[in-house]
Structure 1
Amino acid sequence: MSGNVQQITVTSYPQTPYFLRVDWAEDLGAGFTIALTDGSSAWIGEVSEDEVTEDANDVGLARGEHVKDLLGALTGGRRGRQRDEAAYSFSLAPDHGRLSYQKISNGVPVHLGCVELQPAPDPVELNREMIALALKCNVDLKLDNSQLLDGNRRLKQQNQVILQELEQQVQDKEELERKLYSRFVPVMNEKKAKIRSLQDELQHLQRTDDKQSDKEERQSDSKRRRGGGGDQKGKEESRQSFHPSQEPTILITGRDLECHGISVDRAFSDDEEEPPRRKQRPLHTQSPDPGDED
């Protein structure tokens, strides 16, 4: 069973302080009881779960949102969280027979619910119980406050330790960076010098290779020119050395040479002279001398 006591201001009786006690089993959505007192008189009432659900449907809110608004209005936010007086308002019927509670949203009042009140059978006992509950809530709040203060102190101490460790780590980091930088710079300069040396060597090799290629190309062109000139000269000499005779060919036989008083070696075969003799026979047969026939 949970309960809470808070002081409220009733709009219809702004000069009279009222104290509101709310008790519930599970949560406000499952129903709750109310006790209201002005110090001399007391009134009690009860709200069922069905009434809470009906009020949520009337304002068009989900049950969880409506219960959250009820908790803020009837308990002041609970656990010592101060309720915003401008956010909620209470009104009491002239006969103290009904207590209504509203939420002020953007200056517009939104009805959260109401409870029918009846005079308490023993107002003094009810006031005593409310005072005891208020004292108990005050003790609980002090305990919660003390625990929060202790937690706050621990957090501050931890924060201080973390800040000191962070500063030390920053210093260690800067020192390590200086050491690494002092070691890295010579290595980097050495690597740069090596890279420049390799680049110079590469450029030298490229120039040497280009010169060699140009030289070989010039030699090749010179050889081709010399080779082409020799071939042309040889062809011209061959053409000059060969002059075919334009005169008609005359066949001279050994007998013709003997007729002109030129001795001929008899080693020559008779077959060499036979073709001319064969050619001469038809000539004698075709043109006979008339003096010989006589």
Structure 2
Amino acid sequence: MEKTLNRIHPVSDPEAVYFLQVSWEKDLGAGFGITLTDGECAWTGTVSEAEISREASDMEMNREKYVEELKKALILGEESAGKYNFAISRDEENAVCHFSYERNLKDGSFRLGSLKLQKVSSPAEVVRELIGYCLDCLGRLQVKNEHLQKENERLFSDWSDVEKRLEKCVEAKEDLEADLYNRFILVLNEKKAKIRNLQKLLNEAKQYAADTECTRESVATTQMATGQENDYDGSTEEESENLAWSSLPSAPERNDSILGSPDVINTTPRRKRRQRPVKPAGTGAKMATYETEMPAKEKELRVSSIYSELLRKTFVKEENHTRILWVGT
């Protein structure tokens, strides 16, 4: 059987103190007993399961909810103080005591239940039982308190060990962070040095490319100017042919010279002016740009091929002149 003991103050006399003991089997909804005393007199009574069901039905309340209200009013006691009121009335001989309990609301209150308690013939025995119950509860609380104290000491010891381990972990973490930071500084400085070297090499390469480009442009400009001077200073193709015919000896002299001399072809190159075709507008600028952008080796190959072609044409003309002379003789 379970029991609870609470201290209550009736509404009719708030200064008076009563002790209310409630006892029940398994569940409060199956019925419970009440013992009430003021230290001099004692009253007792019981509430059956049927009466609980009838009270819930009269208030049109769910039975489970009604049982919960009874627990809050009769068992929790001071924890629910101010939410529930108790009314106690006795007759002149204190033979009967009417006990009722109510739930406070904002605009009033409603009665949860009431019962008639009968006077106990030996109130001293009831007070003795209540004192014994209080001592038993105190003993259980002391044992529980000791158990909780030991548990608290164990947890405190564990907490101290964890705190020490945590301090060691923090120190190790700080050391590791310092080591990693120092390594990171070294790696970062190396990367910065590499970047500076690469930037220096890149700037040198850009400067070399710019200088090379300027050199190529100056060489191309010089070659173009030299070519133009040679073209204007050289004789025309007609002038070269007239000069060749005028320099030839007369027919008999040519015949004798040719017969008396071995068959050697004069390979001395003759200067020949290239024909300047009429170029459309803008062609000269494009050719100048092309020649400026042309690499030096390609320009040398081109000059060599032009010079070879001039020699070949000169040799062909000399051979034709020689054949004409032979035919004439």
Do they superpose with TM above 0.5? yes
Conservation of the 8 A alpha-carbon contact between 1:4 and 1:21: yes
Which residue of structure 2 lines up, in the alignment, with residue 192 of structure 1? 192
Query: Any residues of structure 2 matched to 1:1-294 within 5 Å, and which?
Result: 1-39=1-39, 40-46=41-47, 48=49, 49-50=52-53, 53-54=56-57, 58=61, 63=65, 67=68, 70-76=70-76, 83=79, 85-95=81-91, 96-102=97-103, 111=110, 113-120=112-119, 122-124=121-123, 125-209=125-209, 234-236=276-278
Conservation of the 8 A alpha-carbon contact between 1:31 and 1:52: no
Structure 1 residue 159, shift from structure 2 partner:
2.5
CA RMSD of aligned residues (A): 4.3
Conservation of the 8 A alpha-carbon contact between 1:55 and 1:113: no
Report the CA distance shift for 1:236/1:102 in structure 2 as closer, same or farther (over 3 A).
Answer: closer
Report the CA distance shift for 1:145/1:218 in structure 2 as closer, same or farther (over 3 A).
Answer: farther
Structure 1 residue 189, shift from structure 2 partner:
1.2
**Larger relative CO (CA 8 A, sep 6+): 1 or 2?**
1
Q: Residue type matched to 1:63 in 2?
A: K
Q: Distance in 2 between matches of 1:153 and 1:47?
A: 47
When the two structures are superposed, what TM-score results if normalisation uses the length of structure 2?
0.53
Structure 2: where are the runs of 5+ without partners?
Answer: 92-96, 232-273, 280-329
Q: Distance in 2 between matches of 1:208 and 1:135?
A: 105
When the two structures are superposed, what TM-score results if normalisation uses the length of structure 1?
0.58
How many pairs align?
A: 226
Report the CA distance shift for 1:21/1:202 in structure 2 as closer, same or farther (over 3 A).
Answer: farther
Identity of aligned residues (%): 29
SS in 1 for 2:79: coil
Conservation of the 8 A alpha-carbon contact between 2:22 and 2:35: yes
Summarize deviations over 1:139-168 as a string: whole Å, max 9, x none: 222222222222222233333332232223
Conservation of the 8 A alpha-carbon contact between 2:53 and 2:63: no
Deviates more, 1:158-167 or 1:183-192: 158-167
Structure 1 residue 174, shift from structure 2 partner:
1.8
SS in 1 for 2:277: helix
Conservation of the 8 A alpha-carbon contact between 2:4 and 2:23: yes
Structure 1: where are the runs of 5+ without partners?
Answer: 238-294
Deviates more, 1:93-102 or 1:168-177: 93-102
Report the CA distance shift for 1:91/1:57 in structure 2 as closer, same or farther (over 3 A).
Answer: same
